[in-house]
Amino acid sequence: MKRLDQDQLLVDLRIEARDWIEDRLDRMSLLLGQPEVTPDALSDLRRDAHSLKGLGGSFGFPVVAVVAHRLEDYLGDLTPPVDLQARRDLQVFIDSLQDICVHHLEAGPETIRQIARGLPLRLASFDPAEVEVRDVEIMLVAPGGTATRYVRQELAACGYRVTLVGRPLEALDFALHTRPDLVVVSAILEELDGIDLICALAAMPRTRNLPLALLTSLDNDDDKLRDLPPHVPILHKGAQFSDDVAEVLIKYRII
């Protein structure tokens, strides 16, 4: 196939992908517009968000992948009945993606960062009136589970915007495009060791200045931590977690 034909094929595929995204967003709006968001509708919304994330990554629309991931993350622990505030928040995600399809499909990192920080924040079990939401974005790279949920809730209780990323390779991509204020990486990850991910982020020119921290239950002098870059602080799971977080935020002058 000639180069010109290949380029045209790619253009055609991206146009088809954009049309598919718009159709899927229309369907999601219809689901949200029903009198009740049923468990089946919630499952469909999760499936659609996941599909949008994958398509955004496959066709070179990182802004779609980032926002769809935030939507998927928001939907993660949402259970029926879905209250009015959650429905409004979900519609904000969909409206944002629809606007992206029209105006920002080729958005660069700074625009993606601004869009991501304007998205709704789910405060889980905390009363929004009692939590001062700070303009501090924390990417938590960790597997799902009870321990991760606890860490996330502790950070969210302080008003930080926390986004959970379960896969290390996704974390690399999202860190490049959203540049969070702090990346907290669990020592135990699937696909790639947490320290390996930190070493990669610390070595790449576009991410080496990102504030990083390792989340672990190991002692600082444990031999398993020997490859951790010396400038990267450690957050210990357990009673001292909150104190460690405060020290890390002060170290990086985030607060």
Q: For residue range 88-141, list pLDDT tens digits in order.
A: 999 999 999 999 999 999 999 999 999 999 999 876 555 555 667 788 999 999
Q: For residue range 155-168, list pLDDT tens digits in order.
A: 988 889 999 999 99
Exposure on the CB side of residue 222, measured as CA atoms within 13 A: 11
| Architecture per CATH, 128-251 | 3-Layer(aba) Sandwich (3.40)
Output the pTM of the full model: 0.90
Task: List the chain domain ranges.
Answer: 3-117, 128-251
Fold entry, domain 3-117: Four Helix Bundle (Hemerythrin (Met), subunit A) (1.20.120)
